[in-house]
Amino acid sequence: MTGGARGIGYAVAAGCAAAGAAVAIIDKEPSECSRVQKEFEAGGYKCLGAAADISDVNMIEGVIADIAAKLGRIDVLINNAGAGGKEAPIFDITPGEWDHTHNVNLKGLYFCSRAAAMQMKALGAGGRIINMASAAGILAPKYVSVYGAAKAAVIHLTKIMANEWARYGINVNAMAPGFIVTDMTKNVMDDEKNAAAVLRKIGLRRFGEVEDVTGVALFLATEASKYITGAVIPVDGGMTIG
C-alpha cells in the first residue's frame, strides 16, 4: 500500500489487515511508517513499514523487492499515494508544479506497478493491482488541470496494464473516488457555501466516508473480483453520472 499512513490509504490498509492480510505500508516519512506499523502490530495485525519516495524509480524497485523478501510474496499492490496539485487556471501553473504532481500520481504509480508485477510474474501465481484514480480524471472541472490530467492518465494506464498483464493472471483495476471526507478535502467541507455546491452535484447528497472506499478495495483485492480486470469503479455517490 503506497500512501498508507493517513486518510483513505490508512483506512484501506486497516481494512485489509482486519481481513487477515499481512500489510506493507510505503510512505515518504520514516516516522509515519513506524507509527502505522506499531499501531497495526498493537492491534494484532502483521504490518511492515517501508519508507520510500515513490517518485524515485531506483528507490521503488528496491523497496518492492525488500517487501517481497520480508513478507514472502506480494499478492496485492494498492497504489494510493498521491499529490493533490495546485488548483489554479492553466495559465498560472508552473513546470515544477506539473512535475511534482505527475511524478507522484503517475510516474510513481507506473513504476510501483511494474516492480510489483515483475514479482507477481516471477512467482507465477498472479495477483491484484489496484490504482487510485479520481472523479477528477473522469469529469473535467476547471482549475484542476494538473491533477485531473494525471488521474485521467491513471485510468487509461490501468486498462493498458490490465491488457498486458492478464496473461500472467494479474488483475489491474482502478477506483475513482469523489469527495471523500479526509484531511485533503477538509477545506471544501468546512466552507458551508462550497460544501453545499458540491453536494448538489452528488446524487446521494452526501460526502463519502473512507469506509466507502475500503469496501470496494477489499472487493478488488479478493477472489470476489477474479473475473474483473481493466475496470474503473467510481466511488462518488453518483457524481460522475451527471
Residue 147 a catalytic site member: yes
CB 128 within 8 A of CB 83: no
Separation between Cα atoms, residue 146 and residue 111, nearest integer Å: 20
The DSSP code for 7 is H
Catalytic, out of 45, 147, 168, 227: 147
Partners of 18 in the beta sheet? none
Cα distances (Å, whole numbers) of residue 41 to 72, 88, 100, 238:
18, 42, 33, 37
| Short-list 181, 177, 161, CA closest to 77 | 161
The single residue listed with the C-alpha cell 485510468 is 155
Three-state DSSP string of 51-97: ECCCCCHHHHHHHHHHHHHHHCCCCEEEECCCCCCCCCCHHHCCHHH
| Short-list 10, 4, 32, 120, CA closest to 71 | 120
Query: How do 127-132 and 170-177 pair as beta strands?
Result: parallel
Instruction: List residues with catalytic annotation.
Output: 147
